[in-house]
Amino acid sequence: MLTEGEVRALIGACSKRAVTGIRNKALLAVLWRTGIRISEALDLMPHDVDYERGTVRVRLGKGLKPRTTVLNNLDCVPFLQDWLRLREQLAGAGEGASLFCTLAATRTATSYIRHLMPRLARRVGIERRVHAHALRHTHAADLAIAGVPELAIQRQLGHASLSTTSEYLKRVGVRLDMLRMVRGAPTAARTLLAPTPRRHPGPAAYW
């Protein structure tokens, strides 16, 4: 699991000039704010993101089960918009190409992200092992600590059973007694996974 500062540092370490760097920023931000698996993210199509409602549609999740996930914070939307503006200029990168496609408009390989994450970690001085799944762990912990019910977390992560989610939260270091304590803030629990139309500030407001 990563801290918020570490996630922001990893995103900030992506190139600000290279087209692939802009894409990678958007990809990492979406992984963090939705908790979807890296394979699910790389399979996303442009129309799977609803910017008004702040949702991401996973068409083929684990077990070939579709689900709709919610961006628990819309600060990633400006990065998506930056990437989409550049993506439009890529030959062949229309609706038929994956959202986070390569410069050749093909699907980005999972192995590319697997090698990217350690490079970014070294760049920002994170010494422990960093992988894309850590963003999923961090998202789950963010929701749990904010008091989001486990059933909602289960649906967000696409787990087959609630017991899987409970074990998952234990593995990422979130204790159930901590959850009960933070659930004294019901507003966060109700709204964190509630898709509602919102305006999207620019990246400078967050990063």
- Residue 144 to residue 124: CA distance in whole angstroms: 27
What is the signed CA dihedral for 42, 60, 63, 131, rounded to 10 degrees? 20
Which residue out of 25, 33, 137, 168 is catalytically annotated? Answer: 168
- Residue 180 to residue 183: CA distance in whole angstroms: 5
Q: In the annotation, is 200 catalytic? A: no
* Beta bridge partner(s), residue 56: 49, 69
- Across the beta sheet with 67-70, the strand order is 49-50, 55-58, 67-70
Q: In the annotation, is 136 catalytic? A: yes
Which residue out of 16, 85, 133, 170 is catalytically annotated? Answer: 133
* Beta bridge partner(s), residue 68: 57
Which residue out of 8, 23, 33, 37 is catalytically annotated? Answer: 37
Which residue out of 23, 33, 136, 139 is catalytically annotated? Answer: 136
Which residue out of 62, 67, 155, 183 is catalytically annotated? Answer: 62
Q: In the annotation, is 112 catalytic? A: no
Q: In the annotation, is 65 catalytic? A: no
Q: In the annotation, is 62 catalytic? A: yes
Q: In the annotation, is 206 catalytic? A: no
Catalogue the active-site residues: 37, 62, 133, 136, 159, 168
